[in-house]
């Protein structure tokens, strides 16, 4: 893989457009998790210190139409960054033509790219417009690297120089470390609601892992092969697919007991049951104690850990214990661990274990597609741009 690195380029006094991933959860104008912003800041500050004219672009959420919606504005992110970078001028604009207002060593944050017509469709005209904003384009948004869109892919076709930022390079390096010649035993933990969206990921992880622990709705679909899972979240149409996967591999660990409830509610009390005892009016919402004990022992012996997704409804206190015990087992393992995915980041924040995970990926879909073995469009773009220079 040959791509340009920002550290190999003279960016002083150049217009440097950095595509970051500032897609953070915001409620009533308040940022709920700053993990992705903090991950992006070193690249932004590197460019500022080298006296570049720094422009930052990102998406936020999923606006229903390609037009302004206040709840998806990047303005709260701008205010947050302005406080963090208080040693220089930091501007914000919805008008992409105002980039010439900034001087070397100053920062301009652009409004949400998804308000721009043609962004999601990788529109050629919009991609060209983006490329004219800069002398150098820096792709540093690993979390959006799997999107073939104007700000992540199309711009690279027209930018004079397209390179990778330190965050993107670090993400690729760490994922390769986990996937290629990992120290063993290697344990993968895959939670989440749908086996259908993670089938290929599971396939690949089963190939390279010694053990794959499944949780959440994914585990429920596996349990539904042999049991009636009541009203638990699962995918009936993928039970046969799950069975084929289980039949092909003997290293998939599914729950031997579960915490169940009758109502999907924060105040619902949990009852521990074996899969064969679940009633039609009950739903699985967490691992049971026997399962927790079993998987924690496996995690404790692991030399490499890949973790994506909670194993239960961790937002509810009575159905949080499985996710908490697994999170803390990963954190207490001093060997190499890599975690990724939006909900995983929330779990890490909840249990204050950020400093105990070897590497925390900012990617969700990109994290999974990389694990699946797919070539990410943004990386493909950077390779093509490199070969054309």
315 a known binding residue?
yes
The answer on whether 22 is annotated among ligand-binding residues is yes
233 labeled binding residue: no
**Does residue 344 have a known ligand-binding role?**
yes
| Residue 365 is among the residues annotated as catalytic for this protein | yes
Task: Locate 359 and state its tokens.
Answer: 């590497």
Residue 312 is assigned to a ligand binding site: no
Total Cβ atoms within 10 A of residue 355: 8
43 known member of a binding site: no
Asked whether residue 289 is marked as a ligand-binding residue, the answer is: no
Q: Does 48 appear as a known binding residue? A: no
Q: Which of 216, 322, 342, 363 is catalytic?
A: 342
**Catalytic residue, candidates 82, 84, 157, 194:** 194
Going from the C-alpha of 224 to that of each of 150, 322, 360, the distances in angstroms are 42, 20, 32
341 is in an annotated binding site: yes
The torsion of the CA quartet 10, 11, 17, 23, rounded to 10 degrees, works out to 90
Annotation says 36 is catalytic: yes
Q: Output the DSSP codes for 234-292.
A: --GGGHHHHHHHHHH-S-EE--SSEEEESS--TTPPPEEE-GGG--TT-EEEEE-HHHH
Report how far residue 169's alpha carbon sits from residue 382's, in angstroms, rounded to the nearest whole number: 11
Establish whether 165 is a catalytic residue: no
Q: Which of 262, 365, 374, 384 is catalytic?
A: 365
Residue 82 marked ligand-binding: no
Q: Is 61 within any annotated ligand binding site?
A: yes
- β-bridge mates for residue 30, sequence order: 27
Is there a binding annotation on residue 118? no
Q: Rg (Cα) of the chain, in Å, rounded?
A: 22
Among 14, 19, 36, 259, the one annotated catalytic: 36
CA nearest neighbour of 228 among 163, 183, 273: 273
User: Known catalytic residue: 29?
Assistant: no
Say how far apart CA 356 and CA 89 lie, in whole Å: 35
Side-chain half-sphere of 133: how many Cα atoms within 13 Å? 29
- Strands 271-273, 283-287: parallel, antiparallel or unpaired by DSSP? unpaired
Is residue 373 a known part of a binding site? no
Residue 206 backbone phi and psi in degrees, to 5: -65, -35
Residue 60 annotated in ligand binding: yes
Within 10 Å of residue 86's Cβ, how many Cβ atoms? Answer: 8
- Binding residues, by number, are 21-23, 36, 59-62, 114, 147, 198, 315, 341-344
| Active site amino acids | 36, 194, 342, 365
- Binding residues for (2R)-3-phosphoglycerate, by number, are 36, 114, 147
- Binding residues for ATP, by number, are 198, 315, 341-344
- Binding residues for substrate, by number, are 21-23, 36, 59-62, 114, 147
């Amino acid at each position: 893989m040959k791509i340009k690195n920002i550290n190999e380029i003279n960016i002083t006094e150049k217009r440097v457009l950095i595509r970051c991933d500032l897609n953070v959860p915001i409620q009533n104008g308040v940022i709920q998790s700053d993990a992705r912003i903090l991950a992006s800041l070193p690249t932004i500050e590197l460019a500022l210190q080298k006296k570049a004219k720094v422009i930052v672009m990102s998406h936020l959420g999923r606006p229903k139409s390609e037009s302004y919606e206040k709840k998806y504005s990047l303005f709260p992110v701008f205010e947050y960054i302005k406080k963090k970078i208080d040693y220089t001028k930091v501007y914000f604009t919805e008008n992409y033509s105002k980039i010439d207002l900034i001087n070397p060593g100053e920062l301009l944050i652009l409004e949400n790219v998804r308000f721009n017509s043609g962004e999601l469709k990788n529109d050629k005209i919009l991609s060209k417009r983006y490329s004219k904003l800069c002398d150098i384009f820096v792709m540093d948004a690993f979390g959006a690297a799997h999107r073939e869109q104007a700000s992540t892919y199309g711009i690279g076709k027209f930018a004079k120089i397209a390179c990778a930022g330190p965050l993107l390079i670090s993400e690729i390096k760490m994922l390769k470390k986990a996937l290629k010649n990992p120290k063993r035993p290697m344990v993968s933990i895959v939670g989440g609601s749908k086996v259908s969206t993670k089938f290929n990921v599971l396939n690949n992880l089963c190939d390279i892992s010694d053990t794959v622990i499944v949780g959440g709705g994914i585990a429920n679909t596996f349990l539904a092969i042999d049991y009636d899972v009541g009203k638990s979240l699962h995918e009936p149409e993928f039970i046969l697919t799950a069975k084929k996967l289980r039949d092909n591999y003997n290293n998939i660990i599914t729950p031997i007991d579960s915490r169940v409830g009758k109502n999907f509610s924060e105040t619902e009390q949990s009852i521990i049951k074996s899969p064969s005892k679940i009633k039609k009016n009950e739903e699985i919402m967490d691992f049971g104690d026997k399962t927790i004990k079993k998987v924690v022992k496996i995690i404790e012996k692991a030399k490499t850990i890949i973790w994506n997704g909670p194993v239960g409804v961790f937002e509810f206190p009575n159905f949080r214990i499985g996710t908490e015990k697994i999170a803390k087992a990963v954190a207490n393992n001093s060997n190499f661990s890599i975690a990724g995915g939006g909900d995983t980041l929330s779990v890490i924040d909840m249990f204050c274990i950020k400093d105990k995970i070897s590497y925390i990926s900012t990617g969700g879909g990109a994290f999974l597609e990389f694990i699946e073995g797919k070539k990410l469009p943004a990386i493909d773009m950077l390779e093509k741009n490199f070969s054309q220079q």
